[in-house]
Structure 1
Amino acid sequence: MGVFGIMKILALLLSYFLASLAEKQDLSGKMFTFPEESDTAHVILIPNLSKSLTAVTVCLRFFSDLTRAQSLFSFATPASSNGFLLYKQANGVYEIDKNDKFQLFRALGDYPNQWNSVCATWNSQTGIAQIWVNGKQSTRKGIGQGGDISGAPSIILGQEQDSYGGKFDKTQSFVGMLTDINMWDSVLPHPEIASYMNRVPKKTDGNVINWKSIDFTIKGYVIVENQMNA
């Protein structure tokens, strides 16, 4: 890694430190609105804990009219721009990347111009990954059995990271609304995922990212608004 790369990582770590000094916000009843396609607008999420991950669950709700591919959740590390990526390839087709290995999950029922609930999971011990969309579960597929996701995380909404913390492509950008974003360092049990899908307040607060207690930084044209019937 060159001097520029090291400086970029140090700057990102400094931004995490400064953000950690800020007061966390409860975004219950709020949403991030990404009003237009761009290669600049994004939200940086600061995790509540930073450690090597041997399992992951990410849940969120999105509203968009795009039929093209778009990034829903981008988690990069210095070693991998796709440490854990949740990516919507097309209507009903989703992708999970773990350390640059990926699987596609098809025939999942999502709909344009309405709220869609999505959860993605991965477990290092088995390598098994799975996606739930609006209560419908995908087949279970293997992505990189063994190993973990390690290194200082760069977690970004609205863009897909082709390098650590940047190198965005507007044709992969998210346009629409995102809300109720949570991340865990474990595979959430199916009853808990079902509770999230059904909007039942149970144990649905993430311990890595918690929508009710979250640090974030907005870059570019992104608006925080009241949630629209999510």
Structure 2
Amino acid sequence: MGHSAFFFLMTISTVLAGSGVTIKTLVFPTETSTSYVEMVPMKPLNLAAFTLCMNVATELTGEREIILFAYRTADSDELNVWRELDGRLSFYLSGDGVLFRVPQLGALQTHLCVTWDSSSGAAALFMDGKRSLTKIYKKGHAIRPGGKVLLGQDPDSFLGGFDAKQSFVGEIGDVNMWDTVLSDGEIQDMFSGKTLTIGTVLDWDTAQLKINGAVEVVNREL
């Protein structure tokens, strides 16, 4: 390679290295019944399958439940993701949930994904690219449209009925959702940063976020 070509490549590398990539996260600093974020989806959540991923960190111990994601219609909780009282992670589709005994969430960021397919009932969970066992859950069920996606609170009614003792305290970011089950390799590549897969239902980079209460949007460079 000639000196000019080498200098050209070095210049590009320097520019790319210096440009940085800015990402946003949501910080929920205190336990509250008033702070939450509504995330506006790109299309209705009329789903027979999904993959939901997020980065999450919390210092709350296993002494209480923690809501990680809520999607509720006027009638029911269509999809809720929880850290249970005993530390298990779970999600619920309009009724009883499916629970996974996995390592505890903590102050270090965890890349968390849950997947579900109605045709088979196959449900699984990923933590930092590592896949859980498969459980069969709600075969033939469908998630209905017309609801609201909330981060930080569990609504017992449509945008209401919040309980501070179930609220999220910590940091959540990179919340993305697809209307298909992503492959194990795609989820592992997302965690490792090899690929950027844009959500088809919720896209963190472009989604409108409606902030309510004491929630801080923090931007940082990778």
Higher gyration radius (CA): 2
For residue 183 of structure 2, what is the aligned residue in structure 1? 189
Aligned-CA RMSD value: 1.8
The worse-fitting range, judged by mean Cα deviation, of 30-39 and 90-99 is 90-99
**Is 1:87 the counterpart of 2:82 in the alignment?**
yes
CA offset at residue 228 of structure 1? 8.0
CA offset at residue 143 of structure 1? 1.9
**Is 1:60 the counterpart of 2:54 in the alignment?**
yes
Contact 1:28–1:180 under 8 Å retained in 2 = no
For residue 43 of structure 1, what is the aligned residue in structure 2? 37
Residue aligned with 1:183, SS: strand
* Equivalent-residue separation in structure 1 for 2:109 and 2:146 (angstroms): 31
**Is 1:96 the counterpart of 2:91 in the alignment?**
yes
Query: Counterparts in 2 of 1:122-201, with a 5 A limit?
Result: 122-201=116-195
CA offset at residue 122 of structure 1? 1.0
CA offset at residue 174 of structure 1? 0.5
* Equivalent-residue separation in structure 1 for 2:187 and 2:142 (angstroms): 23
For residue 219 of structure 1, what is the aligned residue in structure 2? 212
* Equivalent-residue separation in structure 2 for 1:28 and 1:85 (angstroms): 29
Tell me the TM-score normalized by structure 1: 0.81
- Closer, same or farther in 2 for the Cα pair 1:194/1:80, shift >3 Å? same
Residues 183-205 of structure 1: per-residue CA shift (max 9 Å, x gap): 11111111111112213233x21
CA offset at residue 104 of structure 1? 0.8
Once the two structures are aligned, what percentage of the paired residues are identical? 32
* Equivalent-residue separation in structure 2 for 1:28 and 1:149 (angstroms): 33
Q: Which runs of 4+ in 1 moved over 4 A?
A: none
Q: Which runs of 5+ in 2 are unaligned?
A: 1-20
Contact 1:110–1:133 under 8 Å retained in 2 = no
Residues 130-170 of structure 1: per-residue CA shift (max 9 Å, x gap): 11112222121122110311130210000112222221111
* Equivalent-residue separation in structure 2 for 1:50 and 1:31 (angstroms): 24
For residue 13 of structure 1, what is the aligned residue in structure 2? none
Residue aligned with 1:29, SS: strand
Contact 2:130–2:188 under 8 Å retained in 1 = no
Residue aligned with 2:84, SS: strand
User: Equivalent of 1:210, from 190, 203, 208?
Assistant: 203
Residue aligned with 2:188, SS: helix
CA offset at residue 91 of structure 1? 7.1
The worse-fitting range, judged by mean Cα deviation, of 87-96 and 145-154 is 87-96
- Closer, same or farther in 2 for the Cα pair 1:116/1:90, shift >3 Å? farther
